[in-house]
A = this chain, B = another copy of it.
Amino acid sequence: MPDGGIEEGSQRLPIDTTLSVIDGRWKGTILWRLSDGPMRTAELRRSIPGITERMLIRHLHELVDAGILVRHDAGTVPPCVHYSISEYGQTLGPVLQSLCDWGRKHMEHRPSQAS
Contact = CB atoms under 8 A, between A and B. Distances in A.
Given A47-B8, A67-B110, A93-B2, A99 B32 contact: no
Residues of A contacting B: mostly:
helix
Interface stretch (A52-60, A76-84, A101-109): A101-109
A14 to B, nearest CB: 3
Interface in A45-99: 47, 49-50, 66-67, 88, 91-99
A9 B92 CA distance: 24
Contacts of A9: 47, 49
B1 A29 contact: no
A95 B93 contact: no
A2 B97 contact: yes
Interface string A1-31: 1101100110111111111111100001101
A93 B2 CA distance: 8
